[in-house]
Structure 1
Amino acid sequence: MLFMESYMCYCSVRLGVIIVAVLVIIRSMAQSIVLFTMGVKFFDPLIDLFEHDAEYKDRKWVRKYINWMENSPESFSALFQVLSCSHMAAAVMSIWGALKLQKWFLLPLAFFEFVYFINITILHIVLMIMLKKQINLGFLIILTLVGCFYIFFVGYNAFTCVAMFQIIRLVKSSRYRELYGDDPFHPLAMKPSLTNDSQKPLPVLHMHDMHDTDIDEQKRLSKLGLWPRRHPPVVSVLPVQTQFPPPQLKWWQQQALDTGEDKVQDPSVYRNWQPRELLNGVGGEVQRKNDLNRRYAESQMHRWY
């Protein structure tokens, strides 16, 4: 898995390695020039800070470095100059490796950057512990944030070199060369597979207009019953509607719909009577009930359904 695919979310990793190398050359050159002009006096503020701190002045490693700078400043300066020149040489090698895609030329700069990242992290933690007793809280917070940002930037630059190493190893692999060719700067397009049906052109169905045939052809086709060409009828298929069972009627609704025709008495009973007279005369009870049920059913039918 690649550590990163772009540098600062804008540049390519290859350009990012070149930028990191240029920054390392500028930083190492500035440190070398300052140490060459000022000597170990450049570290006097740091030495005084350790000397006046009750927690770190008696530490073994602190006393070792302070005595080394005080007793043999020439050897300390020479070692610092050698490290600075080696760091610059590693930066130049990384530029060459990024331009020519030589992955092994990137490892020295990655190593130096990781070592510098560890040293600057330890130094920042120790300085913040010592300075918290001497400066106010606001300035301490600002120094902590600035130092953390610089540490993060140094670590990001170190991982940039490692990511470029991974990318070069990827483009030099046999699988990548089979797909994109031997030149990673001008990759070839992938050849479409013969079995890939999605890359095939879609078949086009040509529809002939009824007016694109001359008159002779129309006469010949009309004799065969093939002219005029008729479009197939469009059949609209509607979904089958679900047949719901009729609602179950209550007993009183069934009684209201019941006309009572099956309960009509002998017609001879109504022979000599008019319908209006039957409401109050012979058989009036059944006729009156049927008439009332019919009226009620007609007025309430729409409410039941």
Structure 2
Amino acid sequence: MPCLEGIKDDAGYISRITEATQHRNSLLEDLRDYKPYADLVSEIRILLLGPVGSGKSSFFNSVKSIFQGRLTRQAIVGSDITSITEQYRIYSIKYGIDGESLPFKLCDSMGLGEKEGVGLCVDDIPHILKGCMPDRYQFSPHKPITPKHPAFITSPSLKDGIHCVAYVFDINSMDSLSFAMRAKLIQVQKEVLNHGVAQVALLTKVKNSNEVLENNFSKMSKSMISQSQIIIASELLGVPISKIFVVENYASEREMDPVKDILILSALKQMLRAADDFLEDLPLE
């Protein structure tokens, strides 16, 4: 019996998709059962930082889509030139459409611009890290938030602060970042280091997601073409290679892909582990 047009009949392909789906479902269960370290906080907050158009909002949309089992685009996505994200957003994730919120949130920020007065104001970053910035705060590239702002959180708790920063970059741009952007990143990283927050890097827009994972889906292939970009990211950000993850976000797709899901969920799982390490390292008092 001939196959319908557009349906693959390769037994190897079907087997790989079946195994990928099983691994994706296992990761989903692990993340559904996740609890922050020692119950020090009720939820983990992960801050997404990166240049305009790097895929920060798309990463949130992709995570939400996987947990809801359908493609969704809550966060508006910008271009490589202008940042659509003008508000600070603290996004919760639900398991299923009507499920309970999971104990982690993704915090989306305005994209970093190369020039002063363009994109996220670096002076806003300490307030975000401490948990002083309210959800839906309207960013101003020229003027950071101050304690005089009516919604400024003056006494944030450990739960309100950021527990892990994920630097987000387009993997195809790592070897062509301008001097101005590199200088801006040094400023940003200095603020993050001063606050002792966990750091990871997320490289988006990988073109070979089906080739990135080994057959058992447990690790990335050592021969993947993006190794050079991973090394560049590690040297630029001072983030160990083990803390750098590659993903292909959902953009214009109409159907979901378990292999893409594995990369996205694996990255999220490692971000939560980094946040747990940060919590475990806090002073006893």
Scaled by the length of structure 1, what TM-score is found? 0.22
Q: Normalized per residue, which structure has more strand?
A: 2
Q: Which has the higher contact order (CA 8 A, sep 6+)?
A: 2
In our comparison, the structure showing a higher alpha carbon Rg is: 1
Q: Normalized per residue, which structure has more helix?
A: 1
Scaled by the length of structure 2, what TM-score is found? 0.23
